[in-house]
Structure 1
Amino acid sequence: MLTGFHVAVIGGDARQIEIIRRLNGWDATVYIAGFNQLNESFTEAIDLDFESEQVKQLDAIILPIPGMDEEGNVDGIFSNRLISISEDWLKKTPEHCLIFTGISNNYLNDLTKRVNRSLIPLMDRDDVAIFNSIPTVEGTIMLVIQHTDFTIHGSRVIVLGLGRVGMGLARTFDHLGAEVSVGVRSSKSAARVYEMGLTPIDMTNLQDVDLECDILLNTVPQLVVDASIIKQLPSHALILDLASKPGGTDFSYADKRGIKAILAPGLPGIVAPKTAGQIIADVVYRLLSKNIRKEIDHDA
């Protein structure tokens, strides 16, 4: 249980709804901001008043998966305005206050360092990212079926990147009967692809590799699917870019070639927000219990 904990959930999407529910179920005191357009009311949650003394009680702040922008603004699909989080406001939180985000950026990294608060980018954690890859893979299958007129079985699929999402994509599309190749950068990863019974592709020299395929799945958050790659694709090919914005695909060139290219970050929040929210909430619970309980007990 989280009795005695004070947690603020600021902005986000449907995943945050499940996080709020779970925190309430664990008896935490939950403050919310950025949910004013939500028809469903959280009777056990408190509207966060940024001008009040609530901030001095916060043991944790949970930001959305995208975190905040480079100006300190937090967005959410249930609000009609951005929420600005200032350095002065964060300084009022207790020193032990943890700040959770999905992914971080230079602004958020610098901000938390200036106020000397611990920042936890959840998507950098294996326990979150590996579990999160499950709804990502399921969402990818859904998009492929929606945007193609051929079966996955028997199709030629290239997965770029053998990270936590790439591994799941490669394995699942192979099980569905596709002919799968995987782009990697190291001999270790190439060996893993070979061990999986798939075909490794050297991503350090993509221009000289035959990349003609039916489905190209990118997980690399860098521009790797450029014009030289897109030129090799047949007109019926589908590109799904699962990397964080702005992705790793030259979408403008793909459009000129008449090739369908879709940027699809954050699939767990779209296809399985309840499960994705539970994954985040469970990790937050463990970290709060481990890292803050001793602080609260000591202060008491």
Structure 2
Amino acid sequence: MLTGVNVLLLGGDARQLEIINKLCESNATVSICGFDQKKELHEKAIPIELTKESFAKLDALLLPAVGCDDDGYVHTVFSSESFQLTDELLAALPKTCVIYAGMAKPYLKELCARHALPLVELFERDDIAIYNSIPTMEGALMMAIQHTDFTIHRSHSMVLGFGRTGISMARGLQALGSTVWMGVRRSEQFARAYEMGFQPFYTKDLEHVAANIDLLFNTIPTMIITAQIINKLQKHAVIIDLATKPGGTDFAYAESKGIKALLAPGLPGIVAPKTAGLILADCLSQLLLEQKNRREK
């Protein structure tokens, strides 16, 4: 139980609703800000104003998937107000307060460093990334079906990146009967991809293997699907880029060549917000319990 743990959820989307419910059921003291347009919330969740006083006794500040933008503003879909993290607000936090976000842009990292506050980027954790790869894969398959006039079954698909999302993506395609080409960087990845029944190749050789691909899924957050690669693709090929914005595709060149290319980061929160919220809620509950235990020792 999280009795005595004081947390504030600032902004976010439907994923935060699952976190609120989980933490309230675990008996944490849960304050919320940026949810004034959401009528049905857990009865134990306490709406508050964003002030120095409201920050002064927090054990944890829970921010959305992208903690805040480059100017410190926190995104929320349940309020018409804007909320900004400032030096003044973070200076009011106890030095033991932990700030949690899915990922942190430089503004938030610098702000936390300036005030010596611990920052946890949840999407950097292997467990969350692996769990999130499931709704990501399902969402990418949905997009592929929506934007093609052929079946995934018996198609030739390609996945770039043998990471947590790439492996789940390749397995999903394989399960639907696609021949899956897997782009890897290292020899041990090549061997594992071969063992899993994929057609492995090194990403440095992408230009030589792209010609017969119907569906191309990228998980690498650097420019890899260049004009040179796009020129090799078939006209009906579809690119679905799952990497962090701005992705790894030359989208302008793809459009000029009539190749459909879609940027699709953050699919878990779009296609399965309840599941994505439960994933975050379970992890945060464990992290907050560990934080509480350390404090009480």
Q: CA deviation at 1:213?
A: 0.8
The answer to whether the 8 A contact 1:5-1:28 is kept is yes
Q: CA deviation at 1:36?
A: 2.6
Classify the secondary structure of the residue corresponding to 1:292. Answer: helix
TM-score normalised by L of structure 1: 0.94
Distance 2:141 2:123 in 1: 21
Distance 1:169 1:86 in 2: 39
Q: CA deviation at 1:134?
A: 1.0
Classify the secondary structure of the residue corresponding to 2:119. Answer: strand
The alignment status of 1:110 with 2:110, answered yes or no, reads yes
Q: Aligned runs of 1:75-90 on 2, under 5 Å? A: 75-90=75-90
Q: Residue type of the partner of 2:34?
A: G
Tell me what 1:64 maps to.
64
Distance 1:47 1:240 in 2: 39
Q: CA deviation at 1:37?
A: 2.7
Distance 1:28 1:265 in 2: 32
Classify the secondary structure of the residue corresponding to 2:262. Answer: strand
The answer to whether the 8 A contact 1:75-1:81 is kept is no
Distance 2:82 2:189 in 1: 41
The answer to whether the 8 A contact 2:218-2:248 is kept is yes
Tell me what 1:286 maps to.
286
Tell me what 1:174 maps to.
174
Deviates more, 1:71-80 or 1:234-243: 71-80
Distance 1:160 1:87 in 2: 40
The alignment status of 1:265 with 2:290, answered yes or no, reads no
Distance 1:288 1:211 in 2: 50
Classify the secondary structure of the residue corresponding to 2:157. Answer: strand
The answer to whether the 8 A contact 2:156-2:179 is kept is yes
Q: Aligned runs of 1:75-224 on 2, under 5 Å? A: 75-224=75-224
Distance 2:152 2:231 in 1: 22
Cα RMSD of the aligned pairs, angstroms, is 1.6
Classify the secondary structure of the residue corresponding to 2:16. Answer: helix
Percent of aligned pairs sharing the same letter: 48
Number of residue pairs the alignment of both structures matches: 297
Q: CA deviation at 1:178?
A: 0.2
Classify the secondary structure of the residue corresponding to 1:68. Answer: coil
Q: Which runs of 5+ in 1 are unaligned?
A: none
TM-score normalised by L of structure 2: 0.95
Classify the secondary structure of the residue corresponding to 1:30. Answer: strand
Q: Which runs of 5+ in 2 are unaligned?
A: none
Classify the secondary structure of the residue corresponding to 2:56. Answer: helix
Distance 1:162 1:48 in 2: 44
Distance 1:289 1:119 in 2: 16
> 1:116-171 deviations in whole A, cap 9, x for unaligned?
11111111101111111111111111111111111111001000101100000111
Distance 2:222 2:249 in 1: 8
Tell me what 1:225 maps to.
225
Tell me what 2:275 maps to.
275
The answer to whether the 8 A contact 1:8-1:48 is kept is no
Classify the secondary structure of the residue corresponding to 1:99. Answer: strand
Q: Residue type of the partner of 2:5?
A: F
Classify the secondary structure of the residue corresponding to 1:111. Answer: helix
Distance 1:231 1:39 in 2: 51
Q: Residue type of the partner of 1:93?
A: L
Distance 1:210 1:264 in 2: 21
> 1:9-59 deviations in whole A, cap 9, x for unaligned?
111111111111111111111111222332434432222322252211111
Q: CA deviation at 1:186?
A: 1.1
